[in-house]
Amino acid sequence: MRVTNLLKMENEPLIIRRAVDGDERALRALWTRHAPHIDMVVRRLVGGDVDAAADIAQEVWIQIFRALPSYRGDSQFSTWAHRIAVNRTLNALRRTRRLASVETEVHEDSAAVEPDHDRSFVAESIEAAAAKLSPGARAVFMLHDVEGYTHEEIADALGITTGGSKSQLFKARAKLRSLLAHLVDVKHVGLSRKDTEHVAPAY
Amino acid sequence: MSHLPTERLAALVDEAPTAAELAHLTSCPECARERAAYQAVADLAGTEANRIGTPLTTWEALAPSLVADGVIDDGRGLRLRTRSAKRPWLQAAAAVLLLSGGVVAGRWSVRTTTPATTSTVAEKPDSLPTFSTVQDARDAQARAQSMYQTATAYLAQQDTSGRAIESPSAMRARLAALDRARDAMGEALNEAPYDPVINNYYLSTIGQREATMRRLNTVLPASMKMTSY
């Protein structure tokens, strides 16, 4: 029997109920089960600074457990906790000025992209490559392409415009495309079926 | 038409090309390759969402903050609850069962450890404490529970004496037994969901089970991670 299935079989609503009552073992059971995913969300948004990520992850878990009495079970606990992790991490980054003035980073990034430098760095993964992005661009990329947020949600979370969010995303993808060239370069391509069915109007 | 700009190629991951762009992509292998590369970046990002990693946090670092916050009930009345306060006899029974269960589990997990290494807090049977108030008993219960959990965590990390005996097959057998105990307690909880004794047993079982799984992973070869047992 696979371990992941066994974990899913545990009675999570019961564990949550005991955790709300302050039972340390129940709280620990929730942390043990969800920390590998939640902490990863924090790590992705923060980037390469592991110490900062660890501090923020600690804040995230305290916030999750403080808010636990407000969890109504309308969504999966993992989804609920994930949302707290994203919001808390963005707040922490904003507090430490890492996300300050994301809009101005749009312009700064244009000059900051250094193709020659990018070529000398070979990233082994999206996480490693994204650590090379500016905090604002990384946050937008992670929220949109990894976490599945819309530009409207990102704009709301980061206090920027949807246009700013799109611009950051495209710049982030461009830099990542360069950093991950060894993983994403393809030799032969054709048009996708989607293209032949849907063509945008000229603009 | 000249090559598509970099940012436009990046945008085409989730936007449809115009007719002119489509015509260019059809005739320009270089732009078509670039567009495919951007799509590959987005695909990589999509797989990233499901990736998990080693936690950045540790329970040992988190727990003191949660106690200070009153999130963890440390038995000192920070989060007194009406339901449990109304049933002191159940709490007393839970304390007895938890302590006796802890002794059994402790001897099970450290059966080869010599008494000399574990007796720093041992007391003679005739020196067992007596309690004059319910609060005294609760405090003692909390201390014993905390000490047991800390000792178990320490032994799981440091005690190598029992590992020769605790073979992977023995631990798999333990896991199977813990699964049965968990299932039985889970059924009992359907009938008595608020019973603290059953709740304690259920959570203890889950805790032991997770500790055993972690330990089983440490005794397997580094290249082999447990996905089944």
For residue range A78-118, what is the model confidence (pLDDT) as tens digits? 999 999 999 999 999 888 766 655 544 544 444 344 444 44
Chain B residues 152-181 within an 8 A CB cutoff of chain A: 179
In this predicted structure, the answer to whether residue A151 has a pLDDT above a threshold of 90 is yes
Determine if residue A47 is left, alpha or beta; phi over 0 gives left, psi from -120 to 50 gives alpha, anything else beta.
left
Pairwise CA distance, residues B167 & B219, whole Å? 8
What is the ipTM, given to two decimal places?
Answer: 0.74
Q: Do A65 and B66 count as a contact with CB atoms less than 8 A apart? A: yes
Residue-level pLDDT at A107: 43
Contacts of A43 (CB under 8 A, 6+ apart): A50, A53, A57, A127, B53, B56
Residue-level pLDDT at A118: 45
Q: Which residues of B touch A32 (CB under 8 A)?
A: 59, 210
A15 or A11, which is more confident: A15
Nearest 10 degrees: Cα torsion B208, B213, B217, B218: 0
Which domains, and CATH codes, for chain A?
3-95 (1.10.1740.10), 102-203 (1.10.10.10)
Residue-level pLDDT at A125: 81
At position B160, the amino acid (one-letter code) is T
Q: Which residues of chain B have pLDDT under 50?
A: 77-96, 110-124, 164, 227-228
Using DSSP, state whether A200 is helix, strand or coil.
strand
Q: Identify the residue whose tokens are 């988190």.
A: B62
B77 in contact with chain A, both atoms CB, cutoff 8 A: no
For residue range B29-51, what is the model confidence (pLDDT) as tens digits? 999 999 999 999 999 898 888 88
Q: Identify the burial level of B106 via C-beta atoms within 10 angstroms of its C-beta, where 0-12 means exposed, 13-18 middle and 19 or more buried.
A: middle
DSSP lists the bridge partners of residue B18 as A200
Instruction: Say what percent of chain B tops pLDDT 90.
Output: 14
Residue-level pLDDT at B163: 53
Using DSSP, state whether A39 is helix, strand or coil.
helix
Residue-level pLDDT at A70: 93
Pairwise CA distance, residues A56 & A34, whole Å? 16
Give the one of B6, B45, B206 whose C-beta lies nearest to A29's C-beta.
B206
Neighbours of B54 (CB within 10 A): 9
Q: Identify the burial level of B129 via C-beta atoms within 10 angstroms of its C-beta, where 0-12 means exposed, 13-18 middle and 19 or more buried.
A: exposed
B221 in contact with chain A, both atoms CB, cutoff 8 A: no
Helix (H) or strand (E) holding A126: helix A126-130
Pairwise CA distance, residues B123 & B33, whole Å? 75
Nearest to A45 by CA among A95, A103, A102, A87: A87
Give the one of B10, B54, B179 whose C-beta lies nearest to A173's C-beta.
B10
